[in-house]
Amino acid sequence: MEQERPPLFNDRSLQITTKIVVIYAAFYMCTVIFQLLTNPLEESSLAPQNAYDPLYFMAAVHLVVFVVTGASVVYKKYFWPLTLVAVAVVAMARFYYNDIALWVWSLTS
């Protein structure tokens, strides 16, 4: 007898994936805020004035992801394209953080 497995891309997995993205984006923003509060630039005389600009940029990206996916959760309207784009943005921001940081520093120098 062959067992049937549930499909991978069903409504339940869409809801779970969207909620995970919302939680991760909120967690990332909290860690940035905590770092900014506990390690201000004024205390480090060797740090350049634009040292936290990549953090601001990444926090803004995660804030947009949080608002868009959070609205999806609040209104209970889930869409695979929206969730997959949000997952891709968060993953690319994580994997290419150093390249993004260099790009932001080149813009703010």
In a domain, 21, yes or no: yes
Count structural domains, the chain. 1
In a domain, 68, yes or no: yes
In a domain, 57, yes or no: yes
Output DSSP code: residue 49. T
Length of the chain: 109
Task: Give the contacts of 52 (CB within 8 A, at least 6 positions apart).
Answer: 36, 41
In a domain, 30, yes or no: yes
> Which residues span the domain enclosing 85?
11-39+50-108
Instruction: Dump pLDDT digits (tens) for 3-20.
Output: 666 677 788 999 999 999
The pTM of this model reads 0.86
Instruction: Dump pLDDT digits (tens) for 30-55.
Output: 999 998 888 877 777 777 778 888 99
In a domain, 100, yes or no: yes
In a domain, 1, yes or no: no
Q: Give the position of tokens 């703010």.
A: 108
Q: Work out the widest C-alpha separation in the chain, in whole angstroms.
A: 71
Token reading at 101:
């940081």
